[in-house]
Amino acid sequence: MPLIIIVFGVVMLLILVTVIRLNTVFSLLITSIAVGFAMRMSVEEILKSVETGASSTMGQLGLLLAFGSVLGKLMAEGGAAERITTVLTAVFGKKNLPWAMVLTGFLVGIPLFYNVGFIVLVPFVFMVCASNKLPMLYVAIPLLAALSVTHGYLPPHPGAMAIALTFKADIGLTMAYGMIVAIPAILIGGPLFGRTLKGIATNPPPELFPQKRQDAEGRLPGFGISLLTGLFPVLLIALGSFSHLLLPETSRWLIALQFVGDPVIALMIASLLAMYTMGIRQGKSLKQQSESVEEAFRGITMILFIIAASGVFKQILVDSGVANYIANLTNDLSLSPLVLAWSIAGIIRLVIGSASVAGLTAAGIMLPIVQAGHVTPELMVLATGAGSLMFSHVNDPGFWMFKSYFGVSIKDTFRSWTLMETIVSITGLAGVLILQWLGV
């Protein structure tokens, strides 16, 4: 019965958005409440889920999206993104830019949460496409495939690390096997799949995709300062993430690095740096830069509301106990442990929408099998992580973030984003099974 209700909820949401054409925020909230009542949640439980879902999602993403929007706008107006794309084109060639995006996404994705990497790097995609007249998803999908795979498969990324710790897997081996599995998944789900998406029309919000630079003298900043400004949040976050490996826990430097390495603080500092390097240093006034910041904040408003509402939908599904229902449903399935872990994570991801919840829930369900020694823990981490990426759709905030940033229809979001996530998930499982067959 719960699965039927969820299917009903998804269909209801699609009808409200695409047929009736009700505003997406209202559609998500109405569907969430309807599903909550259908799941026999009390009024108090539904209201708590609405509050928790919106606040937790915005608590994680609100300021990240806001400061990420500011950084992208300042870099575009200051010419940094144009300088970087000019150099990338010269080094890799226009034909190979999707492969440059793969490399960028992979290197940046390891220390960052997916959402942070998305917010930091998507402005680069906008400028690469504008400068070279390339189809946007042809360039974006390789980048996002790399970010997604590092998010799902590879420690020290927090999601994969949590699953590895649950299974008591060797982190070094998990990373080594993960690299082997990740590379074909990224290549198939990224550049190869991206070639099929050239015909999809995109329409990013103008505030996120400035068409022209606004510096009066027409000069571009240097490549070094442009790259430093764009990747400064990545550097700060990486320092914060790995500082505990170099410094004792009592060190004041450790506390300081972890503070500036918080994603929100890192993006705020990077935005302030961009106000100087991309504005004041070029002769613009602080007032002009502040006006650009305000425009960036205004441009992100609707995206923030959509993501908050999608967080409500996800929370209703989590609080209704669907994950426990799925766990009981899959207990009697006679499958390979690796396939079973992938399937459980995939079903929970499909139903609930959260990759992190899917991965950790599946890990808890499969832990007794790993403890019994029936399967290699490192491969179980990868199978579970791959399953947690499966079939992102309307109950996943990432689905709406992709749709909103690139300005594509729901149909084309399924055709591009959802299918890419499914490809990297299935390819990941195939890679894990091949490693098992080889005797790993």
Average pLDDT, the chain: 85
Looking at residue 351, what is its pLDDT?
Answer: 80
**Which two tokens mark 5?**
């209700």
Residue 429 pLDDT > 90, yes or no?
A: yes
pLDDT at 112: 64
Average pLDDT over residues 315-337: 74
Give 94-150 pLDDT, tens digit per residue. Answer: 889 999 899 888 877 766 667 777 887 888 888 888 888 899 999 999 999 999 998
pTM to 2 decimal places: 0.75
pLDDT digits 0-9 by tens, 339-398: 989 998 898 888 878 787 788 778 877 887 787 777 899 999 999 999 999 999 988 888
pLDDT at residue number 407 = 93
C-alpha span between 20 and 35 (Å, rounded): 19
CB 363 within 8 A of CB 166: yes
Closest CA to 102 of 72, 77, 124: 124
CA dist., res. 130 & res. 195, Å (int): 18
Residue 31: strand, helix, or coil: helix
User: Per residue in 208-219, pLDDT tens?
Assistant: 665 555 444 457
Nearest-angstrom CA–CA distance, 166 and 51? 30
Domain boundaries, the chain: 61-155+175-185+211-301
Say if residue 52's pLDDT is above 80. Answer: yes
**% of the chain surpassing 90 pLDDT:** 35
Instruction: Give the per-residue pLDDT at 189.
Output: 96
DSSP alpha helices (H): ranges in 285-354? Answer: 286-299, 301-319, 322-330, 337-352
pLDDT digits (tens, 9 = 90+) for 160-170: 877 888 888 88
- Radius of gyration of the chain measured on its C-alpha atoms: 22
**For 221-233, what is each residue's pLDDT tens digit?**
888 998 888 888 8
pLDDT above 70: residue 207: no
Under DSSP, the state recorded for 261 is T
- Examine the pLDDT at 72 and tell me if it is beyond 80: no
pLDDT band per the 50, 70, 90 thresholds, residue 157? low
* Tokens (6 digits) for 171: 């982190």
For residues 183-213, one letter each, b for 16 or more C-beta atoms within 10 angstroms of the residue's C-beta and e for the rest, the string is ebbbbbbbbbbbeebeebebebbebbbbeeb
Torsion sign over Cα 22, 395, 263, 84? negative
Residues in the chain: 440
Q: Is the pLDDT of residue 62 over 80?
A: yes
At 271, is the pLDDT very low, low, confident or very high (cuts 50, 70, 90)?
very high
CA nearest neighbour of 385 among 329, 416, 423, 428 = 428
How is the chain split among helix, strand and coil, in percent rounded to 5? 80, 0, 20
Q: Is the bond preceding 156 in cis, omega lying within 30 degrees of 0? A: yes
